Each structure stands twice: as C-alpha cells, then as structure tokens.
Structure 1
C-alpha cells in the first residue's frame, strides 16, 4: 500500500510540474493580432482607488496594444474587491485618464471570477458582434482565461501577457494547476 501511495504521489507531482511548465511556456507567448476588442482581466484595486502594480501592468499592456491599433474597444472586467472598489470601474477610469476615449472602454463590474469575466465578455461579444479578442492578464493566468473564453463563446482568442513578475507568481502558477482542470471539467 505504501508503494502504491508513493507512486500515485510521484505521478501527481510530475503532472503538477509538467502542467506548471506548460502553463508558464504557454502563458508567456504573446499572440496578439488585430482583433475586435481587448479584454483586460481585473485584479486588486488599492484602498485609495488606484490599480495595484499588477493591475496597472495589465492595463498598461492593454493600453500599448490599443495604441498600436490592434483593437478599437477595451473591455475591462472585475468585480467588487475587498478594498471596497469595483475593479472594472477603476480600470476604466485609469484608461480614460491615460487618454483612451470613454466610448472605447466597456466596463464589466460583474467579473468576480475568471469564468464570470469570460461569460460576460461572450455576452458583450454577441451584442456587439465581436468575433475576436486579445486577452490581457498575467502569464500564469492566460491559459485558463483562453480556455474559459473558448468555452463561453465562438470567437478567435489571442493573448498578451502583462510585463510584471513577482515572487507571488510561483504560488499563482501552482494554484493554476487545479484551477485549470476544474475549469476544463466544468464545460
């Protein structure tokens, strides 16, 4: 019985290591192409209402893609954070303050999870006839985000990882291992 337990544990650890390497490699690929919209996933808004460094990196990546003319619309998606601010609204205000015209920004304040953001984007895409999107988030988050977007709608999905890395990303990469398979199983 001990041998079986060790074999199962070893197999699980190898699978987790493989998945983390796959996630990192896949998430770091920037496949951004001209699309109908950008989708920037939310993250922490500081108590003073400003985007956290991680969220600002996502917004700045999306802003750079917008300024390159890769998409005419930017959808920002996030929910009400613990700090008491709606992520989508804070993200939209940041982009407008950076010179993005208000009509180019679409705010989704109900994206409380990655799945909700994907489903909300799919609903927006249907209403606005979007057929393609560039997802912007941290590299570790993009493979699951792309999977959920494919599950939510029939549009072409590209990705662009934010240029921000920190030690916490190791934990986040490990967290994505079960989260990816839960998302995959809940199709």
Structure 2
C-alpha cells in the first residue's frame, strides 16, 4: 500500500511539473517588441473558412477585431494573410470581404494570398510591409494562437534581420459558440507546440533559416 502511494505521489509530481513547465513556457512568451500604441498596419492571421466559403467562427472574430482596431485608429492599413490552405477558399479573400462589409474601405486592405501556415503568414506579411515602407504592425489572432505567432515574429527578427519589423500582438474575441472545454483544448495544443519550439527551434526553411539544422 505504501509503495502504491509513493508511485501515485511520484506520478502526480511528474504531471504537476510538466503542466507547470508547459504553461509557464507558454504564458511567458513575449507579446511585443515595442511599446507603441499605433502602427503602420494590422496583420490578421489566416484561419480556414467554412466549406461553403463563409467565415468560420475564429476567422470571423479575427476580422471583426481588426475592424474595431482600424476604426479606433490603431493603424491605417490591414494585411489579410492566408492562402487556400485547407479548402478551395482563399482565407485572405474571405476575410477581406467581411471587413469591407463592416465598413473598411478596399484601399485600406492588402491581401496576402500565399501563406499556408503561421510562419508563412508572418513572413509574407513582413515582406509586404517592407515593400510598402511599413515598419510596425499589430498582429491579430485568436487568444490561444498569439503566443506562437509572437514566437515566430521574434524568431524572424533574429534569423532574418533584413525582414525585421516592430510588432505587438492583440487578441480577437473568442467566438461565443466556443465552449470553455473547446478553448482549453486549443490553449493546451498551442502550449504544447510552443514548448516544443522553445526547446527544438523551428524547422530549417527559407522563412526561418535555422543555421544549426543545415
């Protein structure tokens, strides 16, 4: 009986330590590299549309938050980033149409239709910024997604200094149709991914070249 208690105590300690490291790493990731409150552009990170081409819940909330930030004067431009990564609908195009229907003028929106994941979202958006002479951005996404996006933005500035930008993250609202369990599941998945990336780094690619993996 004593042995069983010791095993359970040891297992509980391991689980507690893992959870502490997992969420400790996740919650201490940087949220910005500047203290600015106004930016050259907003970057809305892509999210798959529904199979009928209408905005999915997270996609909708990301865009609506960018509309609020645009109308509040946080930035005069919006980059909508995302390819047809998960179905036939280009995420940037679906998001642009929603933003325009909410009163954002077409000339304020730049579509980035190449990115197939978050790394490419950040890379291609930074590329567009440099082409337009913009140096700072507020990055908008779902709350659970932003720590990983911040890790990517920070790594891009280090690994590709010619592509570096000033940035901060800003969370969209959670879709009201998402349950607490659904949100917890998304947070846990992102925390696990961030923990792995903090210890192992990103795969070597043209977007985030890793000299240690050449």
The answer to whether the superposition gives a TM-score over 0.5 is: yes
Deviation, structure 1 residue 164 = 1.4
Q: Give SS of 1:72's match.
A: coil
Displacement of 1:151 in angstroms is 2.2
Q: Name 1:12's counterpart in structure 2.
A: 18
CA-CA distance at 1:26 after TM superposition: 7.5
CA positional deviation for 1:155: 1.9
The reply to whether residue 174 of structure 1 matches residue 188 of structure 2 is yes
Question: Which fold has the larger relative contact order, with Cα–Cα distance below 8 Å and residues 6 or more apart in sequence?
Answer: 1
After superposition, the Cα gap between the structure-2 partners of 1:183 and 1:125, relative to the gap in structure 1 and judged at 3 Å, is: farther
CA shift for structure 1 position 52? 1.1
Unpaired runs of at least 5, structure 1: none
Per-residue Cα deviation, 1:21-51 (whole angstroms, up to 9, x for no partner): x26x977xxx882100000011121122111
1:109 matched to 2:113? The reply is: yes
CA shift in 2, pair 1:144/1:150, >3 Å:
same
Match of 1:148 in 2: 152
Deviates more, 1:160-169 or 1:7-16: 7-16
TM-score under structure 2 normalisation?
A: 0.74
Cα RMSD after superposing both structures = 2.6
- Out of 47, 54, 65, the position equivalent to 2:51 is 47
Please say if 1:159 is aligned against 2:169.
yes
